[in-house]
Amino acid sequence: MLFYIVIIVIALYLLPAVLLYFMQHRIVFYPTREIFATPLNCGIPFEDVYPETADGVKINAWFVPADNAEYTVLFCHGNGGCLAHRVETIELYHKLSFNFFVFDYRGYGLSGGKPSENGLYLDSEAAWNFLVNEKHIPPDKIVLIGRSLGGAVASRLAAKKQPRRLICESAFLSIQETGRDRYPFFPVKLLSRFTFPTGNFLKQVKCPAMIIHSRDDQVVKFSHGQRLFTIAGGPKTFLELTGAHDECYFDCSDQYTAAVKRFICAPAE
Protein backbone atom coordinates (compact mmCIF):
# COMPACT_ATOMS: atom_id res chain seq x y z
CA MET A 1 0.00 0.00 0.00
CA LEU A 2 2.83 2.36 0.90
CA PHE A 3 4.49 1.55 -2.43
CA TYR A 4 1.39 2.60 -4.39
CA ILE A 5 1.04 5.79 -2.36
CA VAL A 6 4.64 6.70 -3.17
CA ILE A 7 4.04 6.00 -6.88
CA ILE A 8 0.93 8.20 -6.87
CA VAL A 9 2.77 11.04 -5.11
CA ILE A 10 5.65 10.86 -7.59
CA ALA A 11 3.22 10.83 -10.52
CA LEU A 12 1.34 13.83 -9.14
CA TYR A 13 4.65 15.70 -8.92
CA LEU A 14 6.07 14.62 -12.28
CA LEU A 15 2.95 15.23 -14.37
CA PRO A 16 2.80 19.01 -13.72
CA ALA A 17 6.56 19.20 -14.19
CA VAL A 18 6.31 17.50 -17.60
CA LEU A 19 3.43 19.77 -18.58
CA LEU A 20 5.42 22.80 -17.44
CA TYR A 21 8.34 21.74 -19.63
CA PHE A 22 6.36 21.08 -22.80
CA MET A 23 3.79 23.88 -22.43
CA GLN A 24 6.13 26.69 -21.42
CA HIS A 25 6.17 28.18 -24.92
CA ARG A 26 2.52 29.06 -24.33
CA ILE A 27 3.34 30.33 -20.86
CA VAL A 28 6.11 32.64 -22.09
CA PHE A 29 4.49 33.95 -25.29
CA TYR A 30 0.93 35.30 -25.48
CA PRO A 31 0.66 36.72 -29.01
CA THR A 32 -2.54 38.10 -30.49
CA ARG A 33 -3.04 38.80 -34.17
CA GLU A 34 -5.90 41.29 -34.51
CA ILE A 35 -4.91 44.91 -35.07
CA PHE A 36 -8.07 46.39 -33.60
CA ALA A 37 -6.63 49.88 -33.07
CA THR A 38 -3.86 52.10 -34.42
CA PRO A 39 -2.50 55.54 -33.46
CA LEU A 40 -5.07 57.01 -35.86
CA ASN A 41 -7.70 56.19 -33.23
CA CYS A 42 -6.02 58.95 -31.18
CA GLY A 43 -5.59 61.23 -34.17
CA ILE A 44 -1.86 60.51 -34.40
CA PRO A 45 -0.35 59.87 -37.87
CA PHE A 46 2.14 57.02 -38.22
CA GLU A 47 4.08 54.94 -40.74
CA ASP A 48 3.27 51.23 -41.03
CA VAL A 49 6.51 49.46 -41.99
CA TYR A 50 7.89 45.92 -42.31
CA PRO A 51 11.61 45.63 -41.48
CA GLU A 52 13.25 42.32 -42.36
CA THR A 53 15.30 40.40 -39.83
CA ALA A 54 18.68 38.76 -40.40
CA ASP A 55 16.96 35.37 -40.79
CA GLY A 56 14.47 36.67 -43.36
CA VAL A 57 11.35 37.30 -41.25
CA LYS A 58 9.31 40.44 -41.93
CA ILE A 59 8.05 42.08 -38.77
CA ASN A 60 5.37 44.74 -38.53
CA ALA A 61 6.32 48.05 -36.90
CA TRP A 62 4.92 51.55 -36.42
CA PHE A 63 7.02 54.69 -36.64
CA VAL A 64 5.23 57.56 -34.94
CA PRO A 65 6.94 60.91 -35.59
CA ALA A 66 6.58 63.89 -33.28
CA ASP A 67 7.05 67.53 -34.24
CA ASN A 68 10.56 68.83 -33.55
CA ALA A 69 11.54 65.58 -31.81
CA GLU A 70 15.18 65.39 -30.76
CA TYR A 71 15.08 61.79 -29.51
CA THR A 72 13.50 58.57 -30.72
CA VAL A 73 12.18 55.85 -28.43
CA LEU A 74 12.58 52.23 -29.58
CA PHE A 75 10.04 50.28 -27.55
CA CYS A 76 10.28 46.53 -26.87
CA HIS A 77 6.91 45.42 -25.53
CA GLY A 78 6.03 42.56 -23.20
CA ASN A 79 5.06 38.99 -23.96
CA GLY A 80 1.34 39.55 -24.57
CA GLY A 81 -0.88 41.22 -27.14
CA CYS A 82 0.29 43.02 -30.26
CA LEU A 83 0.84 46.55 -31.55
CA ALA A 84 -2.82 47.42 -31.04
CA HIS A 85 -2.31 47.11 -27.28
CA ARG A 86 0.44 49.80 -27.34
CA VAL A 87 -1.70 52.70 -28.58
CA GLU A 88 -2.11 54.17 -25.08
CA THR A 89 1.65 54.11 -24.58
CA ILE A 90 2.18 55.66 -28.02
CA GLU A 91 -0.17 58.51 -27.13
CA LEU A 92 1.67 59.10 -23.86
CA TYR A 93 5.09 59.39 -25.54
CA HIS A 94 3.72 61.45 -28.41
CA LYS A 95 2.65 64.07 -25.86
CA LEU A 96 6.26 64.12 -24.62
CA SER A 97 7.39 65.07 -28.16
CA PHE A 98 9.51 61.97 -28.74
CA ASN A 99 9.48 59.95 -31.94
CA PHE A 100 8.20 56.48 -31.07
CA PHE A 101 9.06 53.22 -32.84
CA VAL A 102 7.38 50.03 -31.71
CA PHE A 103 7.49 46.64 -33.40
CA ASP A 104 5.67 43.35 -33.07
CA TYR A 105 7.81 40.30 -32.40
CA ARG A 106 7.59 37.44 -34.88
CA GLY A 107 4.30 35.60 -34.50
CA TYR A 108 2.61 38.69 -33.03
CA GLY A 109 0.11 40.86 -34.90
CA LEU A 110 0.97 41.03 -38.60
CA SER A 111 4.58 39.92 -38.16
CA GLY A 112 5.63 36.69 -39.82
CA GLY A 113 7.25 33.67 -38.20
CA LYS A 114 6.83 32.11 -34.77
CA PRO A 115 8.12 33.54 -31.49
CA SER A 116 11.34 32.22 -29.99
CA GLU A 117 13.94 33.69 -27.67
CA ASN A 118 16.63 34.16 -30.31
CA GLY A 119 13.98 35.28 -32.78
CA LEU A 120 12.92 38.15 -30.51
CA TYR A 121 16.54 39.25 -30.25
CA LEU A 122 16.82 39.28 -34.04
CA ASP A 123 13.57 41.25 -34.28
CA SER A 124 14.95 43.97 -32.01
CA GLU A 125 18.12 44.20 -34.09
CA ALA A 126 16.02 44.63 -37.25
CA ALA A 127 14.10 47.45 -35.54
CA TRP A 128 17.35 49.14 -34.53
CA ASN A 129 18.78 48.78 -38.03
CA PHE A 130 15.64 50.32 -39.52
CA LEU A 131 15.99 53.42 -37.37
CA VAL A 132 19.73 53.80 -38.02
CA ASN A 133 19.85 52.81 -41.70
CA GLU A 134 16.43 53.79 -43.05
CA LYS A 135 15.52 56.73 -40.83
CA HIS A 136 19.16 57.84 -40.43
CA ILE A 137 18.76 58.42 -36.71
CA PRO A 138 22.11 58.50 -34.87
CA PRO A 139 22.48 55.86 -32.12
CA ASP A 140 23.06 58.57 -29.52
CA LYS A 141 19.58 59.89 -30.26
CA ILE A 142 17.88 56.52 -29.69
CA VAL A 143 16.45 55.51 -26.31
CA LEU A 144 15.70 51.83 -25.73
CA ILE A 145 12.71 50.98 -23.53
CA GLY A 146 11.84 47.39 -22.60
CA ARG A 147 8.70 46.54 -20.69
CA SER A 148 8.36 43.23 -18.79
CA LEU A 149 9.85 40.50 -21.04
CA GLY A 150 10.90 43.32 -23.36
CA GLY A 151 13.34 44.40 -20.65
CA ALA A 152 15.54 41.44 -21.55
CA VAL A 153 15.25 42.21 -25.27
CA ALA A 154 16.08 45.89 -24.82
CA SER A 155 18.95 45.19 -22.39
CA ARG A 156 20.59 42.79 -24.81
CA LEU A 157 20.27 45.33 -27.61
CA ALA A 158 21.71 48.08 -25.40
CA ALA A 159 24.68 45.84 -24.56
CA LYS A 160 25.37 45.27 -28.28
CA LYS A 161 24.72 48.79 -29.53
CA GLN A 162 25.40 52.28 -28.15
CA PRO A 163 22.01 53.92 -27.46
CA ARG A 164 21.58 57.17 -25.57
CA ARG A 165 19.68 55.60 -22.68
CA LEU A 166 18.10 52.32 -21.56
CA ILE A 167 14.87 52.05 -19.55
CA CYS A 168 13.72 48.71 -18.10
CA GLU A 169 10.10 48.70 -16.94
CA SER A 170 8.60 45.94 -14.77
CA ALA A 171 11.40 43.66 -15.94
CA PHE A 172 12.51 40.37 -14.41
CA LEU A 173 16.01 39.13 -13.66
CA SER A 174 15.48 36.07 -15.87
CA ILE A 175 12.81 33.57 -16.83
CA GLN A 176 14.28 31.12 -14.31
CA GLU A 177 14.04 33.61 -11.45
CA THR A 178 10.46 34.50 -12.27
CA GLY A 179 9.69 30.79 -12.64
CA ARG A 180 11.02 30.10 -9.15
CA ASP A 181 8.64 32.74 -7.82
CA ARG A 182 5.65 31.07 -9.46
CA TYR A 183 6.61 27.38 -9.19
CA PRO A 184 8.77 27.09 -6.06
CA PHE A 185 8.33 23.30 -5.79
CA PHE A 186 9.81 22.51 -9.21
CA PRO A 187 13.44 22.58 -10.47
CA VAL A 188 12.70 25.50 -12.77
CA LYS A 189 16.29 25.95 -13.92
CA LEU A 190 16.37 22.37 -15.21
CA LEU A 191 12.92 22.61 -16.79
CA SER A 192 13.29 26.03 -18.40
CA ARG A 193 13.75 26.13 -22.16
CA PHE A 194 14.10 29.93 -22.12
CA THR A 195 16.46 32.27 -20.28
CA PHE A 196 15.85 35.94 -21.19
CA PRO A 197 18.62 36.89 -18.70
CA THR A 198 17.92 40.59 -18.24
CA GLY A 199 20.37 40.81 -15.34
CA ASN A 200 23.25 39.32 -17.32
CA PHE A 201 22.65 41.69 -20.22
CA LEU A 202 22.33 44.68 -17.92
CA LYS A 203 25.81 44.04 -16.51
CA GLN A 204 27.21 44.70 -19.99
CA VAL A 205 25.30 47.95 -20.61
CA LYS A 206 27.47 51.07 -20.58
CA CYS A 207 24.86 53.78 -21.20
CA PRO A 208 22.81 55.34 -18.36
CA ALA A 209 19.97 53.04 -17.29
CA MET A 210 16.67 53.66 -15.52
CA ILE A 211 14.89 50.83 -13.71
CA ILE A 212 11.15 51.32 -13.21
CA HIS A 213 9.06 48.99 -11.07
CA SER A 214 5.87 49.04 -9.04
CA ARG A 215 5.85 47.73 -5.50
CA ASP A 216 2.32 46.44 -6.27
CA ASP A 217 3.41 44.41 -9.32
CA GLN A 218 1.56 41.10 -9.15
CA VAL A 219 3.36 39.54 -12.14
CA VAL A 220 7.04 40.34 -11.54
CA LYS A 221 8.01 40.88 -7.91
CA PHE A 222 9.31 44.30 -6.90
CA SER A 223 12.52 42.62 -5.73
CA HIS A 224 13.42 41.92 -9.37
CA GLY A 225 13.53 45.65 -10.06
CA GLN A 226 15.60 46.26 -6.96
CA ARG A 227 18.11 43.59 -7.92
CA LEU A 228 18.34 44.85 -11.51
CA PHE A 229 19.17 48.29 -10.16
CA THR A 230 21.93 46.79 -8.03
CA ILE A 231 23.30 44.88 -11.01
CA ALA A 232 23.38 47.84 -13.42
CA GLY A 233 26.99 48.93 -13.70
CA GLY A 234 26.77 52.31 -15.41
CA PRO A 235 25.03 55.50 -14.32
CA LYS A 236 21.61 54.46 -13.05
CA THR A 237 18.29 55.72 -11.73
CA PHE A 238 15.43 53.93 -9.98
CA LEU A 239 11.78 54.96 -10.21
CA GLU A 240 9.22 53.33 -7.93
CA LEU A 241 5.59 53.40 -9.06
CA THR A 242 2.34 52.08 -7.61
CA GLY A 243 -0.29 50.00 -9.36
CA ALA A 244 -0.54 46.73 -11.25
CA HIS A 245 2.03 45.30 -13.68
CA ASP A 246 0.44 46.73 -16.83
CA GLU A 247 -1.40 49.72 -15.37
CA CYS A 248 1.18 51.43 -13.14
CA TYR A 249 2.47 53.68 -15.96
CA PHE A 250 -0.98 55.10 -16.52
CA ASP A 251 -2.05 55.15 -12.87
CA CYS A 252 1.08 57.22 -12.12
CA SER A 253 1.26 58.92 -15.52
CA ASP A 254 2.33 62.36 -14.25
CA GLN A 255 5.11 60.93 -12.09
CA TYR A 256 6.14 58.48 -14.80
CA THR A 257 6.25 60.91 -17.72
CA ALA A 258 8.06 63.62 -15.75
CA ALA A 259 10.77 61.19 -14.59
CA VAL A 260 11.21 59.58 -18.01
CA LYS A 261 11.45 62.91 -19.82
CA ARG A 262 13.97 64.21 -17.29
CA PHE A 263 16.05 61.04 -17.66
CA ILE A 264 16.00 61.01 -21.46
CA CYS A 265 16.76 64.70 -21.88
CA ALA A 266 19.47 64.93 -19.21
CA PRO A 267 22.91 65.88 -20.55
CA ALA A 268 25.20 62.96 -21.38
CA GLU A 269 27.25 61.76 -18.41
How does pLDDT run across 17-29, given as a tens digit for each residue?
A: 555 666 678 888 9
Residue 162: which pLDDT band, with cuts at 50, 70 and 90? Answer: very high
Q: Do the beta carbons of residue 69 and residue 99 sit within 8 Å? A: yes
Task: Quote the pLDDT of residue 160.
Answer: 97
pLDDT at 27: 82
pLDDT of 13 over the 70 cut: no
Domain layout of the chain by residue ranges:
2-200
Please state at what angle helix 117-129 crosses helix 150-160, rounded to 10 degrees: 60
Catalytic residues: 148, 217, 245
User: Cα 156–177–247 angle (5° rounding)?
Assistant: 75
Mean pLDDT of the residues in the chain = 91
The per-residue pLDDT for 59 is 98
Span 203-231, mean pLDDT? Answer: 96
Confidence band of 1 (pLDDT split at 50, 70, 90): low
Q: Kindly tell me the burial class for residue 84, based on how many C-beta atoms sit within 10 Å of its own C-beta (0-12, 13-18, 19 or more).
A: middle
Q: Would you state the CATH architecture of domain 2-200? A: 3-Layer(aba) Sandwich (3.40)
- Cα–Cα distances in Å, from 19 out to 10, 14, 185, 239? 14, 9, 14, 37
Could you report the per-residue pLDDT of 82-92, keeping only the tens digit for each?
A: 999 999 999 99
